[in-house]
Amino acid sequence: MSVKSIIDLEINDGAFKRFADMFKQFEAANKKIPKEWAAVAEQQEKVRRAGKSTIAGMEALSYLKLGTTPTTEWRDAQLAKLDEASKPKAALEFVVISSVRKLVIAAAELPQLNSTPVTEWKKRVNTLASPPKK
């Protein structure tokens, strides 16, 4: 008994080579994806850190606007967040952190403004808002 193919295939060597070349290019590009995703993850971390700083600043502004004093726990928690956010994870360091730190300290030191001259109060806020020694 003879075997007869039920599918007539015409093999085009040029098309197969083009496909193989395209596959090699795809494979090479695929190897870059983990590096690109790592860069995306790094950017996401930067956005997360910036968001925490922004929230701390907005809360501090609310306290200042309302003329109310936040709790010591709030101040300490915000400063801890800012300390974490200010740690350089790459070439970028958030320059806004020092300003937000001043807002947090100003909100916490608001009661002293009633009994201290404004210039001395500002100096105290600036001193207390200095970044922690590393």
Per-residue pLDDT of the chain (134 residues; tens, 9 = 90+): 565 655 555 556 777 677 777 778 877 777 777 777 777 777 777 777 777 778 888 888 888 988 899 999 999 999 988 887 777 664 445 567 778 888 899 999 999 988 989 999 999 998 998 866 65
Tokens of 11: 């093999």
> Where in the sequence is the domain holding 118, given as residue range(s)?
48-134
In this structure, the number of other CB atoms found within 10 A of the CB of residue 68 comes to 11
In a domain, 4, yes or no: no
- In a 13 Å sphere around the CA of 132, the CA atoms on its Cβ side amount to 11
In a domain, 8, yes or no: no
CA 99/CA 53 separation, integer angstroms: 10
In a domain, 24, yes or no: no
Predicted TM-score of the model (pTM):
0.56
In a domain, 93, yes or no: yes
In a domain, 10, yes or no: no
- Residue that the structure tokens 């109310």 belong to: 68
CA 42/CA 82 separation, integer angstroms: 18
In a domain, 3, yes or no: no
CA 126/CA 114 separation, integer angstroms: 17
One-letter amino acid identity for 6?
I
Please state the domain count of the chain. Answer: 1
Contact by Cβ (8 Å): 125, 109: yes
